[in-house]
Amino acid sequence: MHRCALLACVCWLACASPPQADPGGALVWGSVRLVPKEGSDAAPAAYGDRRLQDVERVDYHQPGFAVVFASTGAMGGQGPAALAVETHSGHARFLPTQAVTDLASGVSIQNASETTRVVSAPTAGFVRSLAPGETAHISPRAAGELEIHLLGERTPPAVVFVAPGAFAQVGADGRYQLRGLVPGAAEIRAWHPRLPVSVAQRVELAAGQALELDLEIGVDRAEKHTP
């Protein structure tokens, strides 16, 4: 009994310990919280307008797919985001429907269906017919949201967030770790597909440093741009 309690205590302490930075690099870690617009806390789960009856409101209790990214790069690349076109119940679809990459890595897309598909990413100047089993690479031209379409299909586009530098996908628990950051000045932001990009948090990182930084995403938490 005492041994089990000791093991449980050790596991708890290990989980509660802050993460350590990789040798030579810096680490930024913490949580991401979605914040509803002031006065909308008690909003219903769906919109009252019939034209929007199939549109669900943002669940502010769970971030879902979200990304934390830095203005600077990381030590070592993460490789391109991998998407596939598959057929389900006779309809073509993207898997996954959301992904993240950076400007240098781009997107790898494979036609895993049994039919030739035409894939288009307008903002990247990409349009190509992919035979079954064929793979192509999409090179983004700018950071931000990149939509990838299946021409001639009613399939919703896949959305890939293109980070300007290092990035990390937020976990289901709302936690993130940006590892291997190049030491120096950096701006840290968070992105969510349904909300504005968060306010930039400016940090100065040293080699071996592990900095805890919690971020908030919401309409009232977006950067204000003045003309």
pLDDT in tens, 178-210: 999 999 999 999 999 999 999 999 999 999 999
Q: 19-40+47-74+165-227 sits in which CATH class?
A: mainly beta
Q: Mean pLDDT over residues 107-123, rounded? A: 97
SS3 per residue for the chain: CHHHHHHHHHHHHHHHCCCCCCCCCEEEEEEEEECCCCCCCCCCCECCCHHHCCCECCCCCCCCCCEEEECCCECCCCCCEEEEEEEECCEEEEECCEEEEECCCCEEEEECCCCCEEEEEHHHCEEEEECCCCEEEECCCCCEEEEEEECCCCCCCEEEEEECCCEEECCCCCEEEEEEECCEEEEEEEEECCECCECCEEEEECCCCEEECCEEECHHHECCCCC
Q: Give ∠ CA 180-143-153 in degrees, rounded to 5.
A: 120
Task: Give the per-residue pLDDT at 6.
Answer: 45
pLDDT above 90 (res 55): no
Nearest Cα residue to 74 out of 166, 202, 4: 166
Task: Give the per-residue pLDDT at 2.
Answer: 52
Task: Give the per-residue pLDDT at 212.
Answer: 97
pLDDT above 50 (res 100): yes
Share of the chain above pLDDT 90, in %: 67
Task: Give the per-residue pLDDT at 51.
Answer: 43
At 24-45, the pLDDT tens digits run 899 999 999 999 987 665 445 5
Task: Give the per-residue pLDDT at 53.
Answer: 46
pLDDT above 90 (res 224): no
pLDDT above 60 (res 13): no
Task: Give the per-residue pLDDT at 89.
Answer: 85
Task: Give the per-residue pLDDT at 75.
Answer: 82
Task: Say yes or no: do domains 19-40+47-74+165-227 and 77-162 share a fold.
Answer: yes
Q: What is the mean pLDDT of the chain?
A: 86
Report cis status (omega within 30 of 0) of the bond before 80: no
Q: Mean pLDDT over residues 143-153, rounded? A: 96
| For the chain, domain boundaries | 19-40+47-74+165-227, 77-162
Q: 77-162 sits in which CATH class?
A: mainly beta
- Give the pLDDT band (50/70/90) at residue 10: very low
Are 92 and 153 in contact by the 8 Å Cβ rule? The answer is yes
Nearest Cα residue to 35 out of 188, 160, 192: 192
